[in-house]
Amino acid sequence: MNRFALAYREQQQLFLWDKTYLTGILCKVGGGATLLAQFLVQFFYRPTVALIMTLCLLGLLSALLWLSVRRGKEDWPQLPFCLIPAILWGASLSDHALHFDALVAALMAAGFLAVYARIERRRLLWGSLLTVILYALAGPAALLFALCAWILDLFQLGAWGWKSILFALVAFFCGGMALWTLAVPTWAAALTPVFYYDLDTSMPAAHLVAWLSVPVAVLLSAASRKVFRSQRHRNLIVCIVTVALALLSWAPADHFRKQLEKRESLQSYECEHYVAQEDWDGLLRACKKGTWTPGAANYLNMALSYKGRLCEELLKYDQRGAQSLLFLTQEKSMDVHVAQIMYAMGNMAAAQDVSFNLLASTVGYCPEMLKINAKIDLMRGAYDVADKYLSLLEKSPHYRAWARRYKRFLWDDAAVEADPELGPGRRSFPSEDGFALFEAPLTELDRVMEVRPDHPGAMQYSLAFRLLAKDLEGLTRFVDRYYGMESLRTVPVPVQEALIFYSDYSRNFEGVEPVSLEWCLSHGVTEETVRRFAAFQQESIRTGGAAPKGSQGTYWYYLLYKQI
């Protein structure tokens, strides 16, 4: 169970203190579990808090199951059985597609079971009533409760306990009614944990194992009281169960670890946390400690951009072409990091297009995308729309202060234009129809540069794109056009290295318009860079074309020896 994977859940929903929102959720099947889960997850913006809260809930699940099956102080050896579901659920929660509602629903089932275990009269009536109430509040968890209650009654009441199978029939009836009224799409969603899983994703069977571990734990606990009566046998079973728990916990945990690593999710969860916190140093640390992936490289370079060091420190890290700045799949599928990078590079129209399409997840509103949309609509002067986004954020306790800080810009053009973030952004729109990815990212970025050449993010990404794409001719034309402006008063060292290399190349090959050394010196290339390039050339000749020692980290090494 990864704390950043838990914290990422907070970025997939927005809990609102709003009457319409609250009643709307409660009126749905399983609305009670959903509402309680979203209330708890709103505190997950701190990863350590998310982990502690989740561990407490898992411990509460085990405690409620144990309270349901114990009959006296001598029943403590049954506790290890009740730990089995907590361990398996902890592994299942590593899969982000399984909503947190699932754990809350299992907790509610365990709580109802603890109440039912204390009922002595009219058990069939109360059990049936609890099943119906639980189905309305937590969905298929009612069937989980029904199975556990039936198992308890079988061991406690003997032959009479078979009558408790009525609870399962009631749960099936409730599921059938939910299906008939179209509250759920399938029988699987009506009666199994598929109800709590992303609808467009196939649920792994391991989640069903975690789900069924609850009645299995009740069965083992109840059976152990009947079978093992002596203290010696009880201690023996505790040892056996402890070993079994270790084996049970390893298998699903390892399964989901491999699954998450395959999807590059664990690292992206951590990166998203630092982006939401605007902790760029933390984001750099997170990107550097993991293996290289296009997504990690995108986050790393975005952090460098916000720190104003993208071009200067670009080649201190492993870069593999322009996809290190912005990775798009062949079908141009969108992700939250695309919106964040577009915003960082000053392409506000593209950022808004992507963030609007990603505004809602399967669980609820994505807060970061709401914030981007609100800020961009303030830049646009679309104050009525911005007010709607900010009003949503204002109803969430964690984002209330942020929303109120930005609400002061509503219908105040002078305040927006004077703001160091919103003002430059307002002038970054090349045109109202310039939305994202109709053309290549660099082409759209050039349009931004035409109207906002002083935008630091746009300047850094424009230079970095050309450097990593090894487009020396385009880089030379770009520097010729923008050198001396506020955002390019000094030329970053990697750009200097690229310019002096292209100058030497252009003067020694026919068919290329020559770029003189004097031009380079008048466009930000220093004498020190010229001397280092001469030394690099001499060392390359001496080594017979092999990479000179100590040249790693220079643009010349990236240009000549790095395959992209």
Q: Indicate the DSSP class of residue 98.
A: B
CA 179, distance to chain mean position in Å, is 32
Instruction: Classify the C-alpha dihedral 305-522-517-533 as positive or negative.
Output: negative
In terms of pLDDT, which residue wins out, 77 or 540? 540
Helix and strand counts by DSSP (H, E) for the chain = 30, 0
The per-residue pLDDT of the chain, averaged, comes to 85
Query: How many Å apart are CA 51 and CA 209, to the nearest integer?
Result: 22
Residues 297-314: what's their mean pLDDT?
93
Report the pLDDT value the prediction gives residue 84, as an integer from 0 to 100: 83
Q: Which residues are paired to 98 by β-bridges?
A: 197
* Confidence band for 448, pLDDT divided at 50, 70 and 90: confident
Report the pLDDT value the prediction gives residue 396, as an integer from 0 to 100: 92
pLDDT digits (tens, 9 = 90+) for 407-435: 999 999 999 989 988 887 777 665 545 54
Q: What is the pTM of this model?
A: 0.84
Report the pLDDT value the prediction gives residue 243, as an integer from 0 to 100: 66
Q: Please count the other Cβ atoms lying within 10 Å of the Cβ belonging to residue 482.
A: 17
Report the pLDDT value the prediction gives residue 455, as an integer from 0 to 100: 85
Query: How many Å apart are CA 198 and CA 396, to the nearest integer?
Result: 24
Residues 160-187: what's their mean pLDDT?
90
pLDDT digits (tens, 9 = 90+) for 16-33: 998 988 999 999 999 999
Residues 175-201: what's their mean pLDDT?
90
Query: How many Å apart are CA 334 and CA 328, to the nearest integer?
Result: 8
Q: Which residues are paired to 491 by β-bridges?
A: none
Q: Is the pLDDT of residue 253 over 80?
A: no
Query: How many Å apart are CA 79 and CA 216, to the nearest integer?
Result: 13
Q: Is the pLDDT of residue 209 over 60?
A: yes
3-state secondary structure of 365: strand
Residues 124-132: what's their mean pLDDT?
92
- DSSP alpha helices (H): ranges in 307-455? 310-313, 336-344, 348-357, 367-380, 383-394, 400-407, 413-418, 422-426, 441-451
Backbone angles phi, psi at 331, to 5 degrees: -90, 10
Residue 393 CB partners (closer than 8 Å, separation 6+): 14, 367, 370, 371, 374, 399, 400, 402, 403
Q: Residue 99 corresponds to which tokens in the numbers above?
A: 């909503």
Q: Residue 387 corresponds to which tokens in the numbers above?
A: 């007010």
Query: By mean pLDDT, which of 69-73, 110-114, 346-350, 419-423 is the weakest?
Result: 69-73
Q: Is the pLDDT of residue 312 over 90?
A: yes
Give the C-alpha distances (Å, rounded to integers) separating 563 from 134, 470, 475. 60, 11, 19
Helix (H) or strand (E) holding 252: helix 231-262
Q: Is the pLDDT of residue 62 over 60?
A: yes
DSSP string, 261-277: HHTTHHHHHHHHHHHHH
DSSP string, 476-488: HHHHHHHTTSGGG
Domains of the chain: 3-262 (no CATH), 265-426 (1.25.40), 483-561 (no CATH)
Percent of the chain whose predicted confidence (pLDDT) is above 70? 87
Q: Residue 73 corresponds to which tokens in the numbers above?
A: 């102080």
Report the pLDDT value the prediction gives residue 203, as an integer from 0 to 100: 86
Tell me which amino acid residue 196 is. Answer: Y
Report the pLDDT value the prediction gives residue 202, as an integer from 0 to 100: 85
DSSP string, 2-65: -HHHHHHHHTT------HHHHHHHHTSTTHHHHHHHHHHHTTTTSHHHHHHHHHHHHHHHHHHH
Q: What is the largest CA-CA distance in the chain?
A: 100
Report the pLDDT value the prediction gives residue 237, as an integer from 0 to 100: 65
Burial string for 333-369 (b: 16+ CB within 10 Å, else e) reads ebbbbbbbbbbbbbbbbbbbbbbbebbebebbbbbbb
- Rg (the chain; Cα; Å): 30
In terms of pLDDT, which residue wins out, 76 or 340? 340
Residue 298 CB partners (closer than 8 Å, separation 6+): 324, 325, 326, 327, 337, 341
Burial-class residue 87 by CB neighbours within 10 Å (0-12, 13-18, 19+).
buried
pLDDT digits (tens, 9 = 90+) for 255-273: 655 654 455 567 788 889 9
Percent of the chain whose predicted confidence (pLDDT) is above 90? 46
Query: By mean pLDDT, which of 23-37, 156-170, 250-264 is the weakest?
Result: 250-264
Query: How many Å apart are CA 307 and CA 285, to the nearest integer?
Result: 14
Query: How many Å apart are CA 25 and CA 9, to the nearest integer?
Result: 18
Q: Indicate the DSSP class of residue 200.
A: T
Q: Are 350 and 400 in contact (CB under 8 A)?
A: no
Q: Are 314 and 553 in contact (CB under 8 A)?
A: no
* Confidence band for 242, pLDDT divided at 50, 70 and 90: low
Burial-class residue 405 by CB neighbours within 10 Å (0-12, 13-18, 19+).
exposed
Query: By mean pLDDT, which of 78-82, 438-442, 474-478 is the weakest?
Result: 438-442
Q: Is the pLDDT of residue 236 over 90?
A: no
Residue whose entry in the numeric block shows the structure tokens 């003997």: 158
In terms of pLDDT, which residue wins out, 236 or 352? 352
pLDDT digits (tens, 9 = 90+) for 359-404: 876 567 889 999 999 999 999 889 999 999 999 999 999 999 999 9
Residue whose entry in the numeric block shows the structure tokens 């349009």: 447
Q: Are 95 and 1 in contact (CB under 8 A)?
A: no
Q: Residue 463 corresponds to which tokens in the numbers above?
A: 């230079």
Residue 235 CB partners (closer than 8 Å, separation 6+): 77
Report the pLDDT value the prediction gives residue 193, as an integer from 0 to 100: 92
Q: Please count the other Cβ atoms lying within 10 Å of the Cβ belonging to residue 26.
A: 13
Q: Is the pLDDT of residue 71 over 80?
A: no
Report the pLDDT value the prediction gives residue 348, as an integer from 0 to 100: 85
